[in-house]
Amino acid sequence: MENPLILVTNDDGISAPGLRHLINLVKDMGQVVVVAPDNPQSGMGHAITVKTPLRLRKLVDEERYAEYSCNGTPVDAVKMANKIVLKRKPDILVSGINHGSNASINVIYSGTMAAVLEAAIENIPSVGFSLRDYSHHADFTATGKYVKNIIHNILKKGLPKDTCLNVNFPAVNGSEIKGVKVCRQARAFWNEKFESREDPQKRNYYWLTGEFNMLETGEDTDEWALNNNYISVVPIEFDFTAHHAINELNNWDFNA
């Protein structure tokens, strides 16, 4: 595809190093428009902003590169990009690079991946990239050639209908990466620990923290891939229907 229109967003916010790294990777691949939250939006899932007004701020406006921040969630950013900023549907949406894993069940809490799903709903090919390192100073160097390769693949071949990609990188040097593995989402859950504190008025409050708990270790899962220094690529979809369960439910007596 010649001169594709590339929409870029994330959930760590407009100034996150992971976003800056992604912008540098795609800047020579086409016309690039960034619309990203002005503040960190990790853990916002597929939230949209309906109770408060949204604002959009133009930061850069060059011929082949534009940059905007908005005060909403990552899903808001995608919607504002498509309906306010862009004159035509983008050829691809890329989200990230997230500081921290979005593999396994993390996909459901992730603002980075919600932006990707939102684009898929709007029939825009889309991919999210995440590095399994939560640090602000994480080293994104090793991601470069794979990010470019995956974007090239999508622009050339498109994606299977109604799917988008969740790509996660192990936090290792490029030389240690064993390659790319197409996987399924591993079963896992977060075991929350609420840290209880007292405010100066002696009222109780809590901080949400937690520990990640794997429930399986199959070689076809994204967690296995990352644990074994592979880059995981999981095709995901916005159809939540558990199709396999429909027959069983048809045997229920709903009128008893």
Choices 16-24, 35-43, 92-100, 126-134; region in contact with its own copies by CB under 8 A: 35-43
- With a CB cutoff of 8 Å and minimum separation 6, the contacts of 118 are 46, 74, 75, 78, 79
> If we measure between CA atoms, which residue out of 2, 158, 9 comes closest to residue 82?
9
Q: Does 20 bind its own copies (CB under 8 A)?
A: no
- Among residues 2 and 50, whose Cβ is nearest to its own copies? 50
Position among 1, 174, 176, 192 found at the interface with its own copies (CB under 8 A): 192
What track of x and - describes contact with its own copies for positions 150 through 189 (by CB under 8 A)?
x-xx---x-xx-xx-xx------------xx-x-xx-x-x
- Among residues 64 and 158, whose Cβ is nearest to its own copies? 158
What track of x and - describes contact with its own copies for positions 208 through 227 (by CB under 8 A)?
x-------------------
**Are the C-beta atoms of residues 43 and 69 closer than 8 Å to each other?**
no
> If we measure between CA atoms, which residue out of 187, 242, 190 comes closest to residue 220?
187
Q: Does 49 bind its own copies (CB under 8 A)?
A: yes
What track of x and - describes contact with its own copies for positions 116 through 135 (by CB under 8 A)?
-x---xxx------------
* Residue 133 CB neighbour total at 10 angstroms: 19
Three-state helix/strand/coil letters over 83-113 = HHHCCCCCCEEEEEEEECCCCHHHHHCCHHH
d(CA 256, CA 243): 24
Backbone phi, psi, residue 82, to 5°: -70, -35
What track of x and - describes contact with its own copies for positions 87 through 116 (by CB under 8 A)?
------------------x-xxx----x--
Tell me the closest approach of the beta carbon of residue 3 to its own copies, in angstroms: 21
Q: Does 50 bind its own copies (CB under 8 A)?
A: yes
Q: Does 47 bind its own copies (CB under 8 A)?
A: yes
Q: Indicate the SS3 state at residue 170.
A: coil
Phi-psi region of 253 (alpha: psi -120 to 50; beta: other; left: phi over 0): beta
Tell me the closest approach of the beta carbon of residue 120 to its own copies, in angstroms: 10
Q: Does 64 bind its own copies (CB under 8 A)?
A: no
